[in-house]
Structure 1
Amino acid sequence: MTTEAIHAELVALYDGSTPVRSRWSYRGDHPYTVVAAFQTDREHWVEWVFSRELLVAGLTESAGVGDVRFSPIEEGGMRILIVEIESPEGYALLELDHQSVADFLGATEKMVPLGGEDEHFDVDALIDELTRV
């Protein structure tokens, strides 16, 4: 099982102009998920967890029907990844540099190849965690 982690800091744009810092993380021992945290003020980050598979799909086509959705677009000669996040507390549409997200995803694939997640996932540890009450 891979316990390594990958982290990337990316700048998103909110409403097309306001910069928002984001931290993207991927852990080899949680191979199915990506965590993206967006800074809402100096001390507060909002964290979203979604499947790596959703991010893979979202780099090439619109993907997601729930709280996290991705859409790649080209605007003014730039490739952009639109990230829509929604919760009962609010909604945000963020723009990220497509290549930066693709580079982050590529680093995750070097750690855990797509389709090889089950070789890095400790199902017994998950069962133990879920049944520990």
Structure 2
Amino acid sequence: MSPVIEQAVHARLVSSAPRMEIVPATLHYDQDDPFAVRMAFPPPATLEGTEVTWEFSRELLATGVTEAAGVGDVRVRPFGYGRTVLEFHAPEGTAMVHLRTSELRRFLDRVHGLVPAGHEYLYLNLDHDLTELLRDAR
């Protein structure tokens, strides 16, 4: 079993309504996938009524708390004092959430304590991954 870090956060969903709705979300990091972070939103917080999980690089999240980062489906940038904005772009539209930067930093500190930045490659199990990849190629 691999070490996993999960942290619940309160995300403020930005919408056209005058006030922002607070939705629960979970940040997830698994040492077996050392380059990735996942952010999950429960069914009541999504248009589909099912849990939605976004996966993106932990480097993107770490960079985005201090400067704008990302050009694809996920973009992260600081917003005012103590907030960070995550933008999730999908064919159905764009969702924007505000998170407390302190919560993101606490999560990233825990993640970097588990797998230091620049040492992710030491946690890859390439033999296992290659075996899984080639298993169906026979």
Task: Report if the CA contact (8 A) 1:62-1:69 is conserved.
Answer: yes
Partner of 1:97: 100
| Counterpart Cα distance in 2 of 1:39 and 1:90 | 18
Larger Rg: 2
Q: For 1:1-133, list aligned pairs within 5 A.
A: 3-15=2-14, 17-41=20-44, 44-74=50-80, 78-133=81-136
Post-superposition Cα deviations, 1:62-107, rounded to whole Å, max 9, x if no partner, equal 0000000001122xxx310100001112210110001001100100
Runs of 4+ in 1 over 6 A off after TM superposition: none
The percent identity for this pair of structures is 34
1:132 is displaced (CA, Å) by 2.2
Residue 40 of structure 1: how far off its partner (Å)? 4.2
TM-score by length of 2: 0.87
Mapped partners of 1:59, 1:113: distance in 2: 18
CA contact (8 A) 1:20 1:40 kept: no
Gaps spanning 5+ residues in structure 2: where? Answer: none
Aligned residues of 1:85 and 1:91 also touching (Cα < 8 A): yes
Contact in 2 for aligned 1:71/1:81 (Cα 8 Å): yes
In the alignment, structure 1 segments of 5+ residues that lack a partner are: none
Give distance in 2, aligned partners of 1:72 and 1:117. 25
Question: TM-score if structure 1 supplies the norm length?
Answer: 0.90
RMSD (CA atoms): 1.6
Q: Between Structure 1 and Structure 2, which shows a larger proportion of strand residues?
A: 1
- Cα distance in 2 between the residues matched to 1:53 and 1:126: 22
| Distance in structure 2 (CA, Å) of the matches to 1:132 and 1:35 | 27
